[in-house]
Amino acid sequence: MPTATVRTAALTGAFAGLVGLLLGPFVDVPGSGGTLWLLLAVVVVGLPGYYFVFGITKAEMVGPWALQPALLKRVAACIIGAVAVATLAWPLFSLLPS
């Protein structure tokens, strides 16, 4: 079973940023099945991301779990990873022919 750490949260965020850049254009186009692409993104990113950021064990979700410093660090690492990858990869994707 994977253990949620700051590193796994950052990698999950980086993967989410990359998938967001790749699937984003398909979601925005009318008639392209945008809802299907959005659901695919949730399944590919959201479900695994939950386990790598929040963890699998119930021990971490006891009491005021939203205020745990370790969890807040993992959530911040996930957001920073997503923003960093999206920011760095955006110019590369803009160079691709449309």
Cβ–Cβ < 8 Å for 60, 50 = no
pLDDT at residue 61, rounded to an integer: 66
69: tokens are: 């410093």
pLDDT at residue 2, rounded to an integer: 64
Cβ–Cβ < 8 Å for 21, 89 = yes
pLDDT at residue 88, rounded to an integer: 86
pLDDT tens per residue across all 98 residues of the chain: 567 888 988 888 888 888 878 877 777 777 766 677 777 777 777 777 777 787 766 666 677 766 778 888 888 888 888 888 888 887 777 776 66
Q: What is the DSSP letter of 30?
A: T
Cβ–Cβ < 8 Å for 41, 24 = no
In the chain, the amino acid numbered 59 is A
pTM of the model: 0.72
Where are the extended beta strands (E) located within 1-98?
Answer: none
